[in-house]
Copies of this chain bind each other. A is one copy, B any other.
Amino acid sequence: MTFSALDSELTGPLFATAEMAAVFSDRARLAAMLRVEEALARAEAASGLAPKGLAAAIRRVSPDDFDLAALGAATASAGVPAIPFVKALEAKLPERLRGHLHFGATSQDLLDTALVLQIGDALDLIEADLAAIVASLSKMARAHRKTPQIGRTYGQHAAPITFGYTAAVWLAGIAEVAADLPRLRDRLAVISLDGPVGTLRALSNSGVAVRHAFAEQLNVTGPAAPWHTLRARPAEAGAWLAILLGALAKMAADVAFLASTEVGEAAEPSAPGRGASSAMPHKQNPVSSTVILASHAAAAGHLVTLVNAMAAPGQRPAGAWHSEWLVLPQLFGLASGALREARRLAEGLLVDRKRMRANLEMTRGLIFAGAAAGCLSPKLGRDTAHRLVEKASNIVRATGRPLNEVLVADASIPAALNRDLSAAFDLAPAIAAAAAVTDRILSEVKAGARRTRKR
């Protein structure tokens, strides 16, 4: 079934990586559920609440041993896959070990803890991609720290920057989200083992010991409060993923614009057949940007669902929890494809320095208008300076004459200011300013990465 383009054999490979798909496959889910039941059995055995051999027997069961279609049919009736799964698993155990599985736990304990394990694997994948992107963008920013480019606001030429600075801004945006990953990981690396109403009553005095041993088995921790109906964790995961996609989308939006025919300052790395058009043989569509932007566009909607699911009455609500299933794994899927494409861009973006230079010059000095006004301000006052330059700009647009020339010819500007004015048209200070910010970002990102490694 392929209601989501992420799950389609046809379009899935475009939007998600095979590695992430493997993390969230049905078999991987069963594997995680088996790990949970095994860890629980082992933890309970240590407290005398489960027979010794149970954990080992569970370990011998493979996810492939289950009949997915039968489990699915039973889930449609039970409302949660945990119940049919436990029943099916039990049937695979030696008879003497049956009846002890899943003791004291509730469906949500099993499903949430399994999800936590899958999320751990998913975050490993994401972390690796982030590290690679950060490294590549750092390199790109360094390589182009003095490559002049025009800065644009509202799509209009504003003032000069460098392409290294452009890349450094992408880098900073992605690195600041990446910097929050360790915290998110900690928040999500927790067991759920709290029983039907969150009090783990069935385990009576052994509860604390079992929770501790269970968590240790799974290499996560045990939160004080049951989170059956405290759903900040899934919402925080969703928020982080959506914001991560936002940081990637900043880069993609820039690349898509820079790659447009008229601008032409960058192109996505090409490969045979990549971004081809069915009707136009000359075209190379920016597939990477497209995937990132589409994924980001779909992400925020999923986040809504996770935030709304927090209004969860009682010890388990009718619907809110289930709505998470419909969206959270998809956010990981979207992130995987977007990260892969962002990495491709970070590693292989084709940069056209000549077009950058040509674009810088196309407005005949207008981009130095701010600098020119700045030069005139101290002598003429800011308003007058601004007005004179605005007037001169209009002449430039109408006649195509260079701004420098028009200003020098303007009788209302004292000739004594002409030298200052020339300085305003010097590209060097703008480049130096952009390079300085680039360096600042690079060194901060480096320091941040060092901190994270030490952790």
State A330–B158 Cα separation when bound (angstroms). 32
Complex: chain B residue closest to A331, CB-CB: B3
State A413–B308 Cα separation when bound (angstroms). 46
The verdict on A261 contacting chain B, using a C-beta distance below 8 Å, is yes
Q: For residue A7, which residues in chain B have a CB less than 8 angstroms away from its CB? A: 1-4, 7
Complex: chain B residue closest to A296, CB-CB: B311
CB distance from A356 to the nearest CB of B (A): 11
Complex: chain B residue closest to A161, CB-CB: B197
Complex: chain B residue closest to A82, CB-CB: B278
The verdict on A43 contacting chain B, using a C-beta distance below 8 Å, is no
Complex: chain B residue closest to A366, CB-CB: B282
The verdict on A357 contacting chain B, using a C-beta distance below 8 Å, is no
CB-contacts of A307-346 with B (<8 A): 307-323, 325-327, 329-330, 332-334
CB-contacts of A235-272 with B (<8 A): 235-236, 239, 242-243, 245-247, 249-250, 252-254, 256-257, 259-263, 271
Q: For residue A305, which residues in chain B have a CB less than 8 angstroms away from its CB? A: 297-298, 300-301
Q: How many copies does the complex hold?
A: 4
The verdict on A285 contacting chain B, using a C-beta distance below 8 Å, is yes
State A199–B148 Cα separation when bound (angstroms). 13
Of B3, B207, B317, the residue contacting A16 (CB under 8 A) is B3
The A interface is mostly helix, strand or loop, or mixed, namely helix
Of B275, B291, B333, the residue contacting A3 (CB under 8 A) is B333
- Looking at the complex, which of A53-61, A130-138, A170-178, A212-220 is the stretch in contact with chain B? A170-178
Which of A330, A383, A390 has the most B CB atoms < 10 Å from its CB? A330
The verdict on A440 contacting chain B, using a C-beta distance below 8 Å, is yes
Of B202, B289, B310, the residue contacting A296 (CB under 8 A) is B310
Q: For residue A280, which residues in chain B have a CB less than 8 angstroms away from its CB? A: 153, 158-159, 196, 369-370
The verdict on A99 contacting chain B, using a C-beta distance below 8 Å, is yes
Complex: chain B residue closest to A336, CB-CB: B3
State A90–B200 Cα separation when bound (angstroms). 57
Q: For residue A322, which residues in chain B have a CB less than 8 angstroms away from its CB? A: 5, 290-291, 293-294
Q: Do A86 and B278 have beta carbons less than 8 Å apart?
A: yes
State A225–B141 Cα separation when bound (angstroms). 13
Q: For residue A103, which residues in chain B have a CB less than 8 angstroms away from its CB? A: 377, 382
Q: For residue A330, which residues in chain B have a CB less than 8 angstroms away from its CB? A: 3-4, 326
Q: For residue A326, which residues in chain B have a CB less than 8 angstroms away from its CB? A: 4-6, 15, 294-295, 298, 330, 334
Q: Do A172 and B12 have beta carbons less than 8 Å apart?
A: no
State A355–B161 Cα separation when bound (angstroms). 26
The verdict on A274 contacting chain B, using a C-beta distance below 8 Å, is yes
State A319–B302 Cα separation when bound (angstroms). 17
Q: A78-B274, A156-B261 are in contact. Are A8 and B26 (CB under 8 A)?
A: yes
Q: For residue A312, which residues in chain B have a CB less than 8 angstroms away from its CB? A: 250, 253
State A96–B445 Cα separation when bound (angstroms). 43
State A21–B317 Cα separation when bound (angstroms). 27
Q: For residue A239, which residues in chain B have a CB less than 8 angstroms away from its CB? A: 235-236, 239, 242-243, 303, 307
State A366–B249 Cα separation when bound (angstroms). 29
State A103–B177 Cα separation when bound (angstroms). 31
State A25–B12 Cα separation when bound (angstroms). 13
Q: A285-B318, A310-B250 are in contact. Are A106 and B278 (CB under 8 A)?
A: yes
Q: Do A440 and B224 have beta carbons less than 8 Å apart?
A: yes
Q: A298-B326, A298-B327, A304-B301 are in contact. Are A155 and B310 (CB under 8 A)?
A: no
CB distance from A279 to the nearest CB of B (A): 4
Q: A153-B285, A332-B3 are in contact. Are A253 and B430 (CB under 8 A)?
A: no
